[in-house]
Amino acid sequence: MQLDEIAEELRLPYVELVQAISAPYGADVDWWVTPFASRNTYVCHLFERLCKVTLARRIAAEGGVLEVIVDTPELARLLQKVLPASVSVRCTISPLGKSLRVAAAVMRRLAIALYMYAGRTVFSRLLPPVRRDLPLEPVVILDTFVYPESIRAGIFTDRHYPGLLDELTESERRIIYRAPTYYGVRNYFQLYHRLRACKDNFLLPDDYLHLADYVFAISHIWRASRQLPKCTFSGMEVTGLVNEAYTENLANPGSAEGLLRYCFAQRLRDAGIRVHRVVEWFENQELDHGAVAGWRKFYPNVEVMGYQGFLASRTYLCMFPVALEQQLNLLPHTLAVIGGALVGPAKEFCPDLRVIVAPAFRFQALMLDRRDEPSPGWFTVLISLPVMKDESAAVMAMLVRAAKILDGVTSRPCRFHIKLHPASQKKAILDEVLRLSPVFRVIDGDFDRALDDADALVSAASSTCVQAIARGVPVAIVGRPGLLTQNPIPKTVDSRLWQVCYSAGDLSSALRSYADLEPEDMTELRKLGSDCRSELFEPLTSGASRAFVGLEQAQYLPE
């Protein structure tokens, strides 16, 4: 809990640190596709380490710490400088061991990149596209993700913009082209076989990219290798810690993909593809920096809109654009969020950014009446596992311990329904679940249907937490002691709807309190959830899809 409070306190100073280091590099795309410059805290751990240093200093000042154990040499060196001499600081790895570990990780990432780009290059050419003439009108490019299970029987299921095309006319749909990013794909022959058989409009980057573009992306590691200048943070000289965190992420896959998206915009321009609007799924990560920089450079007169179609933790700092990025044309012209309450946070570090409210495409089922009610004979806990493997493991480990504590002490027997993330490694999680108590069961099907059947939800780092709250289903968020809690719930949401749990005892206590809710309490929670829903999730109204893709002007398309 104390670490999370410190993280909230240090958000602005950290953003200012990264901006100060970034400013001399200008619009150098090689710099901005690094996790450090992007402030991608899921990948670069510098922010978390600085929070831990601050926590250690405060506890030491109160005489509450005698020994600190860390896992990076530079963190150990910094702590030895800023903590009293009476505090012992021990590192679990030597500088040589750390260097070898980083080198091994870099080599592994390079090998994966070579395998991935070889597969994309070879199979995109062995399975050439079906000849389809592009329309005479400029196209709308929709950035989305393709997962291994996204295409079945020639039909593409878009998890990120469901319902977008439903209200468009045939002539309007004809100019919408998806430019996908692949996630979790290993079998590229199967991927391209399915993509080529799909009837949806796709502009696949690999159909336009040149061999030189892949070389450019992979060789980023050599262009990005550098020593960062001397810097301070909260009165501490942190240069070593900053350089250590920066070096750890060389050859990052997001960096290479960002450079390929940059090249993709250039190749489309060279091919004579005219563009009316670009809609980017926008997390402001390395990938997004490269893509937006490409669109803004090679299509300077085209409107680029970024879409934040989900909610994220306030410690996921890349989601909050900064003024320097806007000055360097690294941000979309317009940022679209999915609820009115999200406009202010999006402008926190970039007050001049144009932010609008767009439909919450993924969450339209929240606008419908409940289809089910929880079974009165059970206390049903829905577990929504996040995409990150370590977060999922932490959620499950705490739940298993909490379930043992709850056994026999609730007014109704407990059962736990596990909903996997579509991009997760399903077999590994299923194998683990099979070793658990029979009260745990993996379920398939529609998430919203499962949510209507649940009395409570347990998760972390997932928009499903807010989705549950909007249904009036109370949420327990799994926090990990010693790590930052990935809590996507906005601070404005009533605390009666959610709790952060840092131990199995906390979690069992929270779930027991939810199990003992009286009917009038549940009615109140549903009212609070309905209020949140109207603030956080914009409905898909008539004409909203047309405006979203920039076709609100009727004269744009021929009859």
551 or 298, which is more confident? 298
What are 193-234's pLDDT values in tens digits? 999 988 889 999 999 999 999 999 999 999 999 999 999 999
pLDDT score of 308 more than 70: yes
Query: Is there a common fold for 127-209+253-364 and 379-536?
Result: yes
Q: Which band of pLDDT confidence, cut at 50, 70 and 90, is reported for residue 132? A: low
Which residue would you say has higher pLDDT here, 541 or 356?
A: 356
> What is the C-alpha end-to-end distance of the chain, expressed in Å?
59
Average pLDDT over residues 335-349: 95
| pTM of the entire predicted model | 0.90
- HSE-CB for 227 with a 13 A CA cutoff: 4
H helix or E strand, kind and range, residue 357: strand 354-357
Stated length of the chain: 559
Confidence at 554, pLDDT banded by 50, 70, 90: very low
Q: Quick one: which of 401, 530, 408, 549 has its CA closest to 478?
A: 401
Q: Does the pLDDT of residue 336 top 80, yes or no?
A: yes
pLDDT value at residue 558? 34
Residue 122, CA atoms < 13 Å, CB-side half-sphere? 10
Sign (positive or negative) of CA dihedral 35, 27, 303, 352 = positive
Report whether pLDDT(552) > 80.
Answer: no
Chain segment 404-461, per-residue pLDDT in tens: 898 878 888 888 998 887 665 555 555 565 566 667 888 888 888 889 999 999 988 7
Going by the DSSP 8-state scheme, the letter that residue 541 receives in this structure is: -
CB 316 within 8 A of CB 276: no
Domain ranges in the chain? Answer: 2-103+226-248, 127-209+253-364, 379-536
SS3 95: helix
Cα separation, 299 vs 295, whole angstroms: 5
Residue at token pair 């899809």: 545
The per-residue DSSP string of 448-499 comes to: HHHHHT-SEEEESS-THHHHHHHTT--EEEE--TTS-----S-TTS-GGGEE
How far is it, in rounded angstroms, from Cα 183 to Cα 422? 10
Confidence of residue 559 (pLDDT cuts 50, 70, 90): very low
Whether the pLDDT of residue 353 is over 60: the answer is yes
Rounded alpha-carbon distances, angstroms, from residue 252 to 248, 265, 323 = 9, 21, 25
Residue 22 reports pLDDT greater than 80: yes
Residue 89 bridge partners (DSSP)? 68
Range of lowest pLDDT (121-135, 308-322, 456-470): 121-135
Q: Give the residue with greater pLDDT, 460 vs 502.
A: 502
Decide if pLDDT at 171 tops 60.
yes
The residue type at 84: P
The CATH superfamily label for domain 379-536 reads Glycogen Phosphorylase B; (3.40.50.2000)
Mean pLDDT value of segment 332-336: 97
pLDDT digits over 71-99, tens only? 999 999 999 999 998 899 999 999 999 99
Statement: residue 108 has pLDDT above 80: yes
399 DSSP assignment: H
Given a cut of 80, whether residue 135 has pLDDT beyond it is no
Structure tokens at 276: 């009316």
555 pLDDT tier (thresholds 50, 70, 90): very low
For all residues of the chain together, what is the average pLDDT?
90
pLDDT for position 113: 93
Cβ atoms of 351 and 49 within 8 Å: the answer is no
The token pair at 4 is 């999370």
> What average pLDDT does the segment 393-400 reach?
85
> What is the per-residue pLDDT for 557?
36
143-152 per-position pLDDT tens digit: 999 988 889 8
Cβ-based neighbour number of residue 148 at 10 Å: 17
Q: Which CATH superfamily includes the segment(s) 127-209+253-364? A: Glycogen Phosphorylase B; (3.40.50.2000)
Could you give the CA distance from residue 65 to residue 52 in angstroms, rounded to a whole number?
A: 13
Statement: residue 556 has pLDDT above 50: no
CA distance 277 to 337: 17
